[in-house]
Chain A
Amino acid sequence: MTSSLHTAESANYRDLMTRFRWAFASADPELLGAVLGEGFEWHIHTFDPDDPAPTGRVVRGVDEMVCELEWRKQNWANVRFEGLNEYFAPKFITQSFTISGFDRGSRFHAAAVDLYTLDGSDLIVKKDTYWKQPAPVAKGAAQ
């Protein structure tokens, strides 16, 4: 089951996540500001860009998120997201997907789960990112 919400509510969440994906892909501060709430935090799966150990770090606010995304644009290549599924619950959205690409020439491939927490205005206030590498990918599971 993908949702405990009424269809109309999950459709609203889909609209939000579409605009979030556009904002994420473009790293545009205005687009990000329109979907992120006060005190936004992104809990990333690695400690820092040079250390793949999954000890985590926190990016706070639009400006830091733009910096993180710009860093990725400068250092990552051929990034591909596949098999995206989104699951909606009241004030929470879960994504599952695989991500692959090259980080400064080294190939990466991970299975990922992201958990988004929404505030009372349905803006994203937390993005918790979990990656598991390397990932066995079972393509085409039924949805």
Chain B
Amino acid sequence: MTNVKKFYIGGSWVTPSSGAILDVINPATEAAVSAVALGTEADVDKAVTAARAAFASFSQTPVDERVDLLRAIAAGIRRRESELADAIVAEMGSPRGLALALQAPAGRFHFATAAKFLASYPFTEALDTSLVVSEPIGVVAMITPWNWPINQAACKIAPALAVGCAMVLKPSEIAPLSAVVLTEIIHDAGVPPGVFNLVQGDGATVGTALSVHPDVDMVTFTGSTRAGIEVAKNAAPTVKRVTQELGGKSANIILDDANFAHVINRDAFDMCLNTGQSCNAGTRMLVPAARMAEASTIAASAVESISVGDPADVGTTVGPVVSQQQWDRVQELIQSGIDEGATLVTGGVGRPDGLGRGYFVKPTVFADVTNDMRIAREEIFGPVLVIIGYEDDDDAVRIANDSPYGLSGYISGSHDRALALAKRIRTGEIHLNGAGPDFDAPFGGYKQSGNGREWGAHGFAEFLETKSILGAFN
């Protein structure tokens, strides 16, 4: 990968201003697989300047041209999905199957979806004699995480390109490789120089420089709530728009009329996918208190069946967590669950048997958890399921909403009852009866899970300013 130690600014791969690099660690082997250049304020300034210059003309391009660009990027992703998947496996430990089937294609889905909606998006609205116009907000800084690296970048880049913004992407320094491939795809698709720029580096330096830069109009951030708060603080003095997709601790309510064997098996298993490193994972399973033993037995059987191991192995369903730091955090939280009196049903601290190297975690289930325990309140970001008992539907709603987060949620049971409960849950989305992701539907959180929405046509709005032209129809 020749461009991993360069940045993409103004339509070219350029040499960073500093020689600082950071090893990229394969979490399955703990060995360095590459090294990425670390950017500086000077690199950020060059990228923002290039974006500002490009914005003037790109914001005026016809919609049809931008539809074509989005489609060309989607096609480019399809052509290079295998490379993207390999990069994702190496940088963050996603099982190769998941990387090929969803991690890499998710980027394509977002660009294709944006093209679909852009073709008929209403950028103007007539109000009596006034004309209301939606215009691109300007230069957008994008700070993205390591857990779904292509998905998270694409769901920002696609709508920003769609509406005519220019942008600077800073991917996670932990997982920077797939972003290089994506940038090459964007270049090859013919995106005009300066419209899209890539600066690698850490949050403290590059993320901060982007957030405070006076010529950046908007920062869109996905990551931890702690980091998201820092971004918002840094952006406040220049009154930037800030959208945040942050942490989650999503409740998964299993109603008493659900088929327990099917639903709990499915959901305990799904919670472990991507090694539990999904912000919308259903990590708090709420079951009728009287059926705690039954639920925990099913959940334990489900996670015990999961193939944990080398993510490059096609027989692997769950790989390692991303880093030593993340492994340590997961271990500490598992221990806290034991110390606080939750029942450890399966899993626990330490590595799975036979895996002496790599950041592997035992898929873990806790039963008899109360919602005040740390494992019920904090985002663990590992394959750790906590099962909490509830007394009735009102109690389930109360527990589900008793969280600082509000990103996602899940309910299984009879449809009308589940739908009625969904309307009472304070989260940005609810999956009923195992419904999968919908790339057309908005994604984002209530409360400390963030501000703003991504995905689909709703995602366009975040990148638009609104202008009223009064007397336009006089």
Contact = CB atoms under 8 A, between A and B. Distances in A.
A82 B435 contact: yes
Nearest to B104: A26
Contact of B257 (A10, A78, A142): A142
Query: What interface size band does chain B fall in?
Result: 35 or more
B258 interface: yes
B214 interface: no
Given A23-B97, A26-B100, A73-B78, A18 B298 contact: no
Interface string B89-117: 00000011110111001000000100010
A3 B261 contact: yes
B416 to A, nearest CB: 8
B2 interface: no
Interface string B294-333: 0001100110111100000011010000000000000000
Contact of B433 (A10, A14, A19, A141): A141
Query: What interface size band does chain A fall in?
Result: 35 or more
A6 B306 CA distance: 16
B466 interface: no
B265 interface: yes
Contacts of B185: none
A60 interface: no
Contacts of B351: none
7 contacts: A2-B262, A11-B304, A22-B102, A81-B436, A82-B435, A84-B434, A143-B434
B415 A140 contact: yes
Which 6 pairs of residues, A with B, have the shortest CB-CB distance?
A22-B97, A26-B100, A11-B305, A25-B101, A140-B415, A22-B101
Interface of B: 78, 81-82, 85, 95-98, 100-102, 105, 112, 116, 257-259, 261-263, 265-266, 269, 273, 297-298, 301-302, 304-307, 314-315, 317, 412-415, 418-419, 432-436
B314 A11 contact: no
B435 A14 contact: no
Contact of A7 (B100, B301, B415): B301
A28 B273 contact: no
B404 to A, nearest CB: 30
B314 A31 contact: yes
A105 to B, nearest CB: 14
